[in-house]
A and B are shown apart, each in its own frame.
Chain A
């Protein structure tokens, strides 16, 4: 069989240099550190995860969700960001 390529559309993608599940996509700081507005890691600077499984520092995500331009969407997948239920 001979295959002739008639058209080739290159699609550009990008990714963080560190695996994306280890950094907050908004501030690009590791999840084991705090978001840029907090000093101490731990409960005061919690992580949140959406039903879509994308995680962020809570403070970073809230700054985004509070903007009307966010339309309440997850920054990663642009689905409605809904809190993932515990358990």
Chain B
């Protein structure tokens, strides 16, 4: 877009060892983070893990107790929120109740040198962009939750910030509206090319929308990766359990020559690649993760060249397109959860039926604690 040549590698946002204390509560514990220009970055984590605190620190509403924050190559220490190249969409939307929709959207344009009619055109365009064309003269309090959220979005986007910070912007919406807004946000982000930082505790939302996700626990970043990597290769049990459904089995890691061998309880021995142990290869007892959709059941008449394990159906949950089976295998306390597509010719098994579990060592993940 711009002819200006910027050093490509320089991250737009850079945090180094950022700590935040509230009294004796340690809310952020050494955050190191780099976010690139134009990236859609998500902060994901359970309630109270410090996502909002981190976002507010970037926006300038909280001062880090220690550590540095750089935005666009500039140290942000002592720079107040109104002088930062960031804009925020608040969790509560923070729509000004005494102003109309257009006045809300145009709020930040006061010092814009453009003449009035150009500004109102910009406001109209911003409203158009978020699908609220013609709503300008409405009173802000007469809007639905989804409309408020879009006003908040337009109000931030009209200023063309370098970074847009979104604090759980979709959490107040119903499922359908949320999915629609997710798509709209992705489309918007691609068209305006602004760096988005999204806070969410909805893992699906993070997976759908982000280029990269940081999973936070108790003030620390547990893992930072792109959605696919995060889903397929979580590095710890905590991350694995937080994102999607994961079967966790006790296992043993051994190194023989240049092979890494994993003996998974209930399934058996298999060789894995080093990248299947994202937390590092450590010989000895460990936890092995395997996703329900990478397991299978061998139905009568089907054959496979994959590995097999004997099991008994313990529970059947029918979802229409899918069936979720809980299957007991020998030597494991918790039954394995297996999801199967209901393809033609596949019966839905009964509870108590004997079956064979199909597995593959390539889908194993060795998790560190």
Please say whether chains A and B are actual partners in one complex. no
Residues in A lying within 8 Å of B, measured CB to CB: none
Residues in B lying within 8 Å of A, measured CB to CB: none
